[in-house]
Chains A and B, each alone.
Chain A
């Protein structure tokens, strides 16, 4: 019964998101005649792809009951490594492998601190948010590496020939399919949900919770590095300040997508819908030349609301069930309170 109700509540969240998405589209269209032009939609998707990629692994991590705030810094660090190795004359494929490896190493570092030392991931990754960004600045300073081959930058801003679908969007769709299958259709997904629901119970059920979490952090680092390569290609520059502050968008998309901040619940479908909502909203504001400060206020408000919404709903539910219990027996209500 309870399981069914949970399924139902997550289902209703996605309906709510669909309504939000429709509202966003109507809002965007009424505010700007350019919003629904294919050209604009193509640019909008292109400019949001790194956030979308990082949101995939962030979904898994938050469902498992942890968080990774360092993703944007890992993106910056891997972008810098890509630039530095390219400058050193190594072939581009090798630079990309090095960038991906650096991302995984950064994720491994986060994961080890969380799983081996038992530190809270919120604090660990807040620390490495500064640490990895600092490293990026130490390595490259305020310089930029930008003499990448044109094929690489074409991947960053080019479209599939004959269409307005960005190449990077194709990459995202492929990644999203893989993540969907892993999270919702495989035993790994079931282990992730179990871990987030109740770590101890998951451990007793034979799930190697720490190894799973370590893997998720490495995965998060890897996806941040993928996003780093995409970002570097898109602006054809490796810079230490690439994607500063993107973690705000990533976490907002995941939580707005209905993933429970305390773990155990959520779906990729919701997160993808939320990505469209946030990307569309940001684009609609931008097309009306509404400044970055106001955009941050909107995104920040969405983040708070998406945590607050389910929380308030839960409280109302709890209060209702307390009242039901109180009518039955006053003793249980005291205990429950």
Chain B
């Protein structure tokens, strides 16, 4: 018993002594290799939802370009699986290092707030990209998706392919999915324009962002509507499953498919002609813009107020909108001619 208490006591003493020694030492010596937190260097760290994800790796590439252009430093850290609490641990790590800015794609808008607010109290700039946090926990949100542009472009792409005639359907994610429902709202609005008067939206199916459900939904759409000419799937899971379903019943070319997809999952279907065109934002540009935004915050060129301007290199000039949101711009359209340039 005495021994146990002795161990406990001496353990804590050693710990406390070392802590004290460390605190005293860190003032006099600078043994670390980490760059100083001085104001003139751009020490910007990206914290994606998860690392080893092609989407975020592409964003990182864009951010690196911006870092090179601005002569700043770029680092990417993050959890190996998309977890909100792991991201909190990372935010705390970065706060302790006093980095210049944290650029984060949140796994949960609220869970990250307390940690991000703590970071901001320490003078760290916080920019969210791809997936926002609560507005009071960041200076800026770099939004990849202008909901209106995304909704309208999908109808425009399909309209062109179908010569503006025929029955069409939508294969969405969950019926409650906020993003998809907003986009579908703009699709319906686009469809109400006179040039689409010969196109009828016959059904909205909900594949719940589940591959098998979306696959089955596509098959039943084609059975229930034999004259179906086109499908829009505004979800990356849905569009890949729909392409597979169309191919499995040899309706490639007879039923047109478009929507939101990633080049890697759609490459095969674009090359074999099942899909002509689809859209998505370019995550590389998103990362690039987010880096420029974080740099402008660190340099004091902007504070995150609505109406402020900043330059994002080759991407051009951007203005901060309501709720401190910066919108990347219109989505990129992928087809046979350009798909080979993208890897995400």
Interface residues, chain A, with chain B CB atoms under 8 Å away: 7, 11, 14-15, 18, 21-22, 25, 29-41, 43-44, 46-47, 144, 146, 153, 156-157, 184-185, 231, 234-237, 239, 241-245, 267, 269, 272-273, 276, 283, 286-289, 291-293, 296
Residue numbers in B under 8 Å from A237 (CB-CB): 84, 108, 110-111
User: Whole-angstrom distance from the CB of B46 to the nearest CB of chain A?
Assistant: 11
Instruction: Give, as a whole number of angstroms, the nearest-CB distance from A73 to chain B.
Output: 14
User: Which residue of A has the minimal Cβ distance to B98?
Assistant: A34
Nearest to A31 among chain B residues (CB) is B32
Is the beta-carbon distance between B96 and A43 smaller than 8 angstroms? Answer: yes
Alpha-carbon gap, A14 to B7, bound state (A):
8
Across the interface, name the chain B residue whose C-beta is closest to A156.
B114
A146 surroundings in chain B (CB, below 8 A): 108, 110-111, 113
Residues of A within 8 Å of B93, CB to CB, are 43, 283, 286-287, 289
Whether A292 lies near B22 (C-beta < 8 A) is no
Contacts of A286 in B (CB 8 A): 77, 89-90, 93
**Complex contacts, A47 vs chain B, CB 8 Å:** 88-89, 92
Does A293 lie within 8 Å of B52, measured CB to CB?
yes
Once the chains bind, are B83 and A241 in contact (CB under 8 Å)?
A: yes
Chain A residues whose CB sits within 8 angstroms of the CB of B115 once the complex forms: 157, 235
Listed from nearest, the 5 A-B pairs whose CB atoms lie closest are A36-B22, A146-B110, A33-B32, A40-B96, A237-B111
Is there a chain A Cβ closer than 8 Å to B249's Cβ? no
Alpha-carbon distance between A245 and B89 when the two chains are bound, in angstroms: 14
On whether the beta carbons of A276 and B15 are closer than 8 Å, the reply is: yes
B18 beta carbon closer than 8 Å to chain A? yes
Chain A hits for B8, CB < 8 A = 269, 272
- Decide yes or no whether B40 CB sits under 8 A from chain A: no
- CB nearest neighbor in A for B92: A43
- Bound CA span A286–B51, Å: 14
Complex Cα distance, B32 from A237, in Å, reads 35
List 19 A-B residue pairs with CB atoms under 8 Å apart, sorted by A's residue number.
A29-B18, A29-B22, A32-B97, A34-B97, A36-B19, A39-B96, A43-B95, A146-B111, A153-B114, A234-B88, A236-B113, A269-B7, A276-B15, A283-B93, A289-B75, A292-B51, A292-B78, A292-B79, A292-B80
| CA of A174 to CA of B30, assembled, Å | 37
Interfacial chain A residues near B52, Cβ < 8 Å: 293
User: B85 in the interface, Cβ–Cβ < 8 Å?
Assistant: yes
Neighbouring B residues of A153 by C-beta, 8 Å = 114
The yes or no answer to B45 lying at the interface (CB within 8 A) is yes
Q: Check if B123 is an interface residue, CB within 8 A of chain A.
A: no
Q: Closest A-chain residue to B95, C-beta based?
A: A43
Q: Describe A's contact surface by its main secondary structure.
A: helix
Determine the main DSSP class of B at the interface with A: helix
User: What is the minimal beta-carbon distance from B67 to any residue of chain A, in angstroms?
Assistant: 15
| Residue numbers in B under 8 Å from A35 (CB-CB) | 22
Contact of B11 with A by CB under 8 A: yes
Interface 1/0s, chain B 8-28, versus A by CB < 8 A? 101100110011001101100
Are B111 and A144 closer than 8 Å at their CB atoms? yes
A144–B113 CA distance with the chains assembled, in angstroms: 13
> Is A36's CB under 8 angstroms from B88's CB?
no
Contact A25 B15 (CB under 8 A): yes
Q: B10 contacts which chain A residues (CB < 8 A)?
A: 18
| Contact (Cβ within 8 A) B85 A231 | yes
Determine whether the beta carbon of A243 is less than 8 Å from that of B85.
Answer: yes
B158-215 with Cβ < 8 A to chain A: none
Return the contact of B26 from the options A31, A33, A144, A296 (Cβ within 8 A): A33
Most buried by B among A33, A144, A234, A242: A33
Checking B75, B81, B97, B110 against A236 with a beta-carbon cut-off of 8 angstroms, the contacting residue is B110
Given that A156-B114, A157-B114, A236-B113 are known contacts, is A291 also in contact with B85, CB under 8 Å in the complex? Answer: no
Do A296 and B80 have beta carbons less than 8 Å apart?
yes
B4 adjacent to chain A (CB < 8 Å): yes
Q: Are A18 and B4 in contact (CB under 8 A)?
A: no
Q: Is B338 an interface residue when CB atoms closer than 8 A count as contact?
A: no
* Chain B residues, Cβ within 8 Å of A241: 83-84
Chain A residues near B89 (CB, 8 Å)?
A: 47, 286
Distance in Å: Cβ of A151 to nearest Cβ of chain B: 13
